[in-house]
Structure 1
Amino acid sequence: MEVRKVSEKEVDFYDFEGLLEKAYGELPENVRHHDSRFEVPAAVVTIAGSRTIIENFVDVAEAMNRDPNHLLKFILREVGTAGALEGRRAILQGRFTPYLIGNKMKRYLKEYVICPVCGSPDTKIIKRGRFHFLKCEACGAETPIQHL
């Protein structure tokens, strides 16, 4: 049996720090410089007569990086009512508590924004054929989602 002397350079090939730096270098630019924590503003909900108004609806949708119409369609389906966008706010037929609206927005975040693989909010919805996927910009995962 022959014993071969291994140089230090060959051993460092599997150096954890080196592999970590290499992986970090291969991340997309928008993910690499993600310094801030993902925060969505709380919905400002007012009830006027038999209508519920979400005052900052478009701001919430923009913070999630989603189309306001997609978010509105989800909420209307979840609460089982009619509604529409009016300027930067959403008007729903019926009286709904701020707690209920907040819970529906959290559910939307979980199903249509946050990557189930890595937990990153840097995702987008893509359509391939008849199917819709949540594509993560951070890890590259594609998760099938229900179409609204």
Structure 2
Amino acid sequence: MKVDELDLYDYKTLLKRAREQIPDYVFEKDRFELPPIEVIIEGNKTIIRNFRELAKAMNRDENFFAKYLLKETGSAGTVEGGRLILQRKISPELLKDRINSFLREYVICRECGKPDTKIIKEGRIHMLKCMACGAIRPIRML
């Protein structure tokens, strides 16, 4: 091989060429933020007023999200008119903690940290597929 041919395969040159082919949005560090959680406690009921807005921001089904919160808080409840009504008093801090755990488990990609994921079913197994990086991992369904 000639010296000129070796320069074509120089590590830094190859790395630069590879990085130029990657789309710009991959390098952006957008931080995923949910709208502020609006919690009201009325008597023995806890109401998340912007429940539909939260589910839409996460790109998840309202019923699936509600089922998760009901199970994690040990409460009965219903979704009515874009609100989630829980049949007991629950502190806003506990709700925020449970919503954050839902995000970690069912929304945010563990590989790249982006919220661009979908829940897909392969056979009998549900998987979380990242549309940004292509990572796939199994998740437990409720």
| TM-score with structure 1 setting the length | 0.85
Deviation at 1:116, TM superposition (A): 0.9
Inter-partner Cα distance in structure 2 for 1:11 and 1:34: 28
Q: Which runs of 5+ in 1 are unaligned?
A: 26-30
Q: CA deviation at 1:42?
A: 2.2
Whether the aligned pair in 2 keeps the contact of 1:42 and 1:102 (CA below 8 Å) is no
- Find the counterpart in structure 2 of residue 109 from structure 1: 103
1:120 shift after superposition:
1.1
Counterpart in the other structure of 1:47: 41
RMSD across aligned C-alpha pairs, in angstroms? 2.2
* Mapped contact 1:45–1:54 kept (Cα < 8 A): yes
Counterpart Cα distance in 2 of 1:132 and 1:122: 16
Which of 129, 132, 141 does residue 138 from structure 1 map onto?
132
Residue 90 of structure 2 is aligned to residue 96 of structure 1: yes
* SS across alignment from 1:6: helix
Is 1:68 matched with 2:62? Answer: yes
Q: Which runs of 5+ in 2 are unaligned?
A: none
Length, aligned pairs only = 141
Q: Structure 2: how far apart are the matches of 1:34 and 1:6?
A: 36
The structure, 1 or 2, with the larger RCO (C-alpha pairs under 8 Å, 6+ apart) is 1
Q: How does 1:80-95 map to 2 (within 5 A)?
A: 80-95=74-89
Matched with 1:28 is none
1:24 aligns with 2:14: no
Q: Deviations over 1:65-97 (max 9, x none)?
A: 111111100000001111111011100110001
Give, as a single letter, the amino acid of the residue that structure 2 aligns with 1:136: C
Identity %: 45
Q: TM-score when scaled to structure 2?
A: 0.89
